[in-house]
Amino acid sequence: MRPSAKTNSSIALAITMSTFVGVLLSCSVTRPPTPASPEPAAARFPAVAPPLADVANAYVLAGQRALPVRKGEDVHGLHNLFQLSANVWSGSEPDGEAAFEELARLGVKTAISVDGKRPDAELAAKHGLRYVHVPIEYKGLTDEELLQLAKTFRECEPPFYLHCFHGRHRGPAAAAVGRLVLDGAAREQVIAEMRQWCGTASDYEGLFRDLVLKPMPTADASRDYVFDFPAQRSFGGFREAMVDAARRHDALKKLEKRDFAIDPAHPDIDALESAKQLADTFAISGTLAEIFDRPADFHGWMEVSKVETVALRDALQRLRGGDATALAPARRAYAAMTKACIDCHQQYRNH
């Protein structure tokens, strides 16, 4: 007997319902699992050594853990170069393209400048390096600076190259932060590396002090801190003027040993031009409104620096013209200007 149209309709409906239920069951079976909770930031980094207690002088403490003798390397425009760990290198400001080529060869991915001068981010990028600029002072590390450094170490690509100007004081202090937060190194170890290897001086005890006494930012705190990893920062005003003055003085310091004659190895460094620029810097910076309320001794040292750089400039101009008797007054003016800078730094920059 042939099935009726009504029977066929019932069979078709049953098949349709069965297929629909099967699709629903299939969907329920293939539903993706609930995502796991994000891993806490702290789980991805080693524990940071806690601050030390009862430290009378952190520089003295830095000499108590005996380290093997090491000397910094001078290679391809990098000076006082140390590899402190697989993650952290420390040294001077890279000087020229050869320096960035060497950093790339060493495998460095991120350069962190803690100097006030704007780093050459474009030249670094040409060689595959990213720059992050976190300027710090000689007197110590602020909580904000520690957060910026910790976040950079935890979120940018290693290995890192840390530098200031000469690679002896502020750069090694910042590298020590990296050793703490990336490597889980002991506080006593990182300050020993600063003093015994990198050559950080006792004048900068504040850097040692903050590295042993201040808590480092936690991984969660650095994750939540808003920071855009700037490649270059500018300050303007007195601070930027002193960044420039430091480089002019450094050039004069090197050439003073050669009776201020040009070094054939560095023909681009000229004592007379450096003295002219330094004289202009002191003349202009002494008029800035931001320093009007500084103490009298500060202004006294600024005035000495201004007067003596003019005397140095004039003596070097005579020396360049062939007057050999101008060497003695040039040396005297250089020494007087240098002493004024050192005295001012000891009182207002380093502490």
Q: How many Cα neighbours within 13 Å face the side chain of 215? A: 6
Least confident segment among 75-89, 139-153, 202-216, 233-247: 233-247
Does position 37 have pLDDT exceeding 80, yes or no?
no
Whole-number Å distance between alpha carbons of 279 and 337: 11
Instruction: For residue range 243-278, list pLDDT tens digits in order.
Output: 889 989 999 999 999 999 999 988 889 999 999 999
Give me the torsion for CA of 239, 240, 241, 247, rounded to 10°. Answer: 110
CB atoms within 10 A of CB 204: 23
Q: Give the pLDDT of residue 44.
A: 78
Q: What domains are defined for the chain?
A: 58-224 (3.90.190.10), 237-349 (1.20.120)
Q: What is the pLDDT of residue 42?
A: 52
pTM for the model stands at 0.82
Give the pLDDT score at 266: 83
CB count within 10 Å of CB 79 equals: 18
Name the residue with tokens 């402190």.
84
- More confident call, 322 vs 40: 322
Cα 9 from Cα 344, distance rounded (Å): 101
The predicted structure's pLDDT at residue 182: 96
Nearest to 301 by CA among 256, 349, 250, 251: 349
- Tens of pLDDT, residue by residue over 272-302, are 999 999 999 999 998 999 999 999 999 999 9
pLDDT range class, residue 18, cuts 50, 70, 90: very low
- Round to whole Å and give the CA distance between 311 and 337: 10
Relative to beta strand 110-113, strand 73-75 is unpaired
C-beta of residue 190 within 8 angstroms of C-beta of residue 209 = no
Q: Give the residue with greater pLDDT, 235 vs 61.
A: 61
Please say if the pLDDT value at position 19 is more than 90. Answer: no
Query: For residue 310, is pLDDT > 50?
Result: yes
Residue 81, helix vs strand vs coil? strand
What percent of the chain shows pLDDT beyond 70?
A: 88
Tell me: pLDDT of 32 over 50: no
Reported as type and span, the H/E element at residue 337 is helix 327-344
Phi and psi (nearest 5°) for 40?
-55, 145
pLDDT tens column, 318-351: 999 999 999 999 999 999 999 999 999 989 888 7
Q: Each residue of 83-125: pLDDT tens digit?
A: 999 999 999 999 999 999 999 999 999 999 999 999 999 999 9
pLDDT at position 148 over 80:
yes
Among 255, 297, 252, 240, residue whose Cα is nearest residue 278: 252
- For 168-200, how does the pLDDT look when each residue is reduced to its tens digit (9 = 90+)? 999 999 999 999 999 999 999 999 999 999 999
